[in-house]
Structure 1
């Protein structure tokens, strides 16, 4: 997969009066190089329609497009990959469905899960939640930046830090060794989405040489 710096996940509850595609386009213009559609409440048909729109948008800008959980929707719109959690299909089974050319990302919350993800063939892992977050209702306790340091020492596949990351605390995450950042509410809930993304990119570039 193409390397990346800023990973933005949809969170329509944070911008109720603004169009999904418009908000995500602003994120891309600000520097987001992976977009993930995450929708755990709407019908499959609604998720599919959103995925079609975001697939068109991400193709326009040459940005990687990931679908959370809905493997069938990801395949239907030819997304670049899927993101799954610890309670979803095992990576090996997901790989049989999506094939060798699709990206598979996995959320991890402990070093044992990270090791298993790498062994099983994940293309990247999510590492978090680093801080308290309100973007997920089923979230585990914060793993803190200590988990980032563990992953840096042991894991060779790319990882993205996620969970409660804001402009005011991202420096702690980068100093712990993260080179890729994921944010939801801080980006999509911002009044100026593009500017917030640009500020994240500037902070990443100051700390990290990918």
Structure 2
């Protein structure tokens, strides 16, 4: 029995260390400390059984010491995380049942840890399973449109817009809420996420899909606390350094720009030279990027030639005589 206890404590701690390091160094999420606390909690229980466990080991003759074929295959980060969470959860269940025969109090403590791991698993995997596509990103400004806002958005969605940000800086809060209610109905119809610019409170009131925040808005940690883990949070960045900082926060994607001069932003254009570095940063962190600022029919070709594969538009779609055809044309351009 102590050999089994020893094996499962080892398996559990090893799995926790793998996940902790992936979360810390690869995904760069700031809640890796919670995983460390769980690992320490396991070690605290294990120490009571350590001596008997070590003495009962027979690693040389253990039939499980040879790798299975599935273990030799190259894994993506998501698969590696999944395999190790399952490893931890199964080990904890074995320990919970086994320790019930030795010390029911330790068994109960292991059970609490197991449920804590389930919660952390959801937190780690949440960014992988949020269904959103940044390819053709619409930022609204109803001042540019000759049509009702919800009509423009609907036509744009028909044309291929994949995600919508409600950004109506000129409206009062109540007007933003009412506009959001109408736009949300349209977005639900076409299964496209609706994000609210800056305002976590309005996003919460609408039950929108998330928010997009800037450098001077509430800290990401506070927005996440308000909205919870299920909602999408995007953040604008205007330099490589800001992008590097953003990916370490609990965001789901980031925006980078402005690539060109634009009347919607006071920032100087960052240009096209950093695009490949930003895409590498996005790939390594697992957090997608959308490029913003001054993207029009005239500038899009140059942006695409420099690597842009997800682009945000305001005036080009909002001010179009035919938002459907404009969106359709832009999407074809981006997808090549």
| 2:294 aligned with 1:167 | no
- Structure 1: gaps (5+ residues): none
Pick which of 69-78 and 147-156 moved more.
Answer: 147-156
- TM-score (ref. length: structure 1): 0.93
Alignment partner of 1:41: what SS? coil
| 2:138 aligned with 1:12 | no
| 2:270 aligned with 1:140 | no
Deviation at 1:100, TM superposition (A): 0.5
Q: What CA distance in whole angstroms lies between the structure 1 residues aligned with 2:281 and 2:187?
A: 32
Deviation at 1:172, TM superposition (A): 1.8
Moved over 4 A (4+): none
Partner of residue 150 from structure 2, selected from 8, 21, 37: 21
Higher helix fraction: Structure 1 or Structure 2? 2
Alignment partner of 2:137: what SS? strand
Partner of residue 281 from structure 2, selected from 134, 154, 160: 154
Aligned length: 203
Find the counterpart in structure 2 of residue 110 from structure 1: 239
Please say if residues 272 and 303 of structure 2, whose CA atoms lie closer than 8 Å, have aligned partners that are also in contact: yes
RMSD of aligned residue pairs (Cα, Å):
1.2
Deviation at 1:149, TM superposition (A): 2.2
Deviation at 1:139, TM superposition (A): 2.0
Find the counterpart in structure 2 of residue 99 from structure 1: 228
- Structure 2: gaps (5+ residues): 1-129
Partner of residue 44 from structure 1, selected from 173, 179, 182: 173
Deviation at 1:42, TM superposition (A): 1.6
Alignment of 1:70-85 (within 5 A): 70-85=199-214
Please say if residues 129 and 162 of structure 1, whose CA atoms lie closer than 8 Å, have aligned partners that are also in contact: yes
* 1:65-111 CA-partner distances (Å, limit 9, x unpaired): 11001111101111111000000011111111111010000000001
- TM-score (ref. length: structure 2): 0.59
Partner of residue 321 from structure 2, selected from 183, 191, 200: 191
Structure showing greater relative contact order (alpha-carbon pairs closer than 8 Å, 6 or more residues apart): 1
Higher strand fraction: Structure 1 or Structure 2? 1
Which is greater in Rg?
A: 2
